[in-house]
Structure 1
Amino acid sequence: MPIAGRDMTLFIQQLLRERGEPIPADQSLETAKRIKERYSYVCPDIVKEFKKYDTDPDKWIKTYKSVNPVTSQPWQCDVAYERFLAPEIFFSPEMYSSDYLKPLPVLIDEMIQSCPIDTRRGLYGNVVLSGGSTMFKDFDKKLKKDLKKIVDRRIQRSAVDIDVVSHEFQRYAVWFGGSLIGNSPEFVTACVTKEQYEEYGPSICRQSKVFAGV
């Protein structure tokens, strides 16, 4: 999926600019990143979430404060809809990009459906979250809910159990998994040396055991 944490940051930056928030230009990107990390969350129903903010803005709209490092002048901006709209791009990517329109739950379902039929039930019951962009509050609940809807639409009264797993290594799961592989005895047999790469170029990677089943 060609959408990641940086896209969320850029989306927040865009929303803040469109609303005319008084953020110094040289702090715009960093401010968007901090707002993403500090205030963002996943909502179960985007329409109801808009209504919550419109009905009680004092409760839901936050204030981000900072100081301009050049002028030493303090400034602040409102943090509103972008709190829940930023993570929503994983579930409704069309609001951010016209080039990629496939939601994450649909992508996961398609990947599982492309696997051997006798493995699918186990895969639906073991969707493991990985990466910082999956750390937002209720990300796992929304993914599970949307994935369940897709399966139920295809199979009426589906008995397939959907489980989305959050875990303590979630933020660094990719690195952690890579480190385990790197420490395995088999790892060296799949490596390409610098000398080999310089002699044969990128095409040598196609001879790697990693791609044997591709």
Structure 2
Amino acid sequence: MEETHLINDVKERLCYVSLDFDADLALTRFRGKKNTIRREFVMPDYVNSMRGTIRDPNAPAEPAAAPAAAGGGAREEGAPPPQKKGRVPADRAEEQALSLSNERITVPELLFHPSDIGLEQAGLPECIVQAAEACPPDMREALYANILVTGGSSRFPNFEERLQRELRALVPSDLPIGFTAASDPTLAAWRGGSIFAAAAEYDSAVVTKEQYREEGHALCRRRFAGA
């Protein structure tokens, strides 16, 4: 599927961070009502609907139309014929729907275990620890206590709770862990960059393409590492 904006909508509305990945993954292997994770994303047709809708396939079906009054009167003129048991309604038969089960949890899980798709990289908790431990020891307590949660994927349900749990297992027990959530995590990084670019200190804090071509990496080391 090449509709990037549509798939992004599916991700944002249906994916969540699992607090017990193995147990939830086991649930997705069931069929029918035992699979409480499965959801359907009904695609918009851009005629009657401009945005997809979410449907729980285990939800009770809509009640059938009331039977004809006693006496066996004829069906009301213009009324649709009664649906036979088990038949899919015509409007639903024409729908296009994505069925999501394990995808709801396996996509966000990559933030914590990128190795699931063959990426030899650390997960987010490990990256935070690596960044903090690369700083002077007397700064680490303050860093762990002031972790800024930002980025669109931080809006997944359970994200912060899962991150807290996994960090707690990696960070020394005597150091508190604290989170601050950005007011708009999706745009926070862009807004920070925009503010920085408008600041008077910007020109002295960056290396332009022309400067890099002339002096190379040595300029970066002098300016940013004091080497």
TM-score by length of 1: 0.70
SS at match of 2:169: helix
Aligned mates of 2:214, 2:120 — CA distance in 1: 28
* Offset, 1:188: 2.9
**If you compute each CA radius of gyration, which structure gives the higher value, 1 or 2?**
2
- 1:1-214 aligned at under 5 Å gives the runs 25-27=1-3, 31-53=6-28, 54=30, 56-57=33-34, 59-66=36-43, 74-96=95-117, 98-151=118-171, 155=172, 158-190=173-205, 197=210, 201=213, 203=215, 207=219, 211-213=224-226
After superposition, give the CA deviation of every residue in 1:98-117 in whole Å (9 maximum; x if it has no partner).
23242211121122111100
For structure 2, the 5+ residue unaligned runs are: 47-93
Provide closer, same or farther for how the CA distance between residues 202 and 174 of structure 1 changes in structure 2, counting only shifts above 3 A.
farther
After superposition, give the CA deviation of every residue in 1:43-90 in whole Å (9 maximum; x if it has no partner).
111012124443845642111112578xxx641121111111111001
For structure 1, the 5+ residue unaligned runs are: 1-24
The answer to whether the 8 A contact 1:129-1:170 is kept is yes
TM-score by length of 2: 0.66
Percent of residue pairs identical: 26
Which amino acid counterpart does residue 207 of structure 1 have in structure 2? L
Count of residue pairs brought into register by the alignment: 177
More helix by share: 1
* Offset, 1:174: 1.2
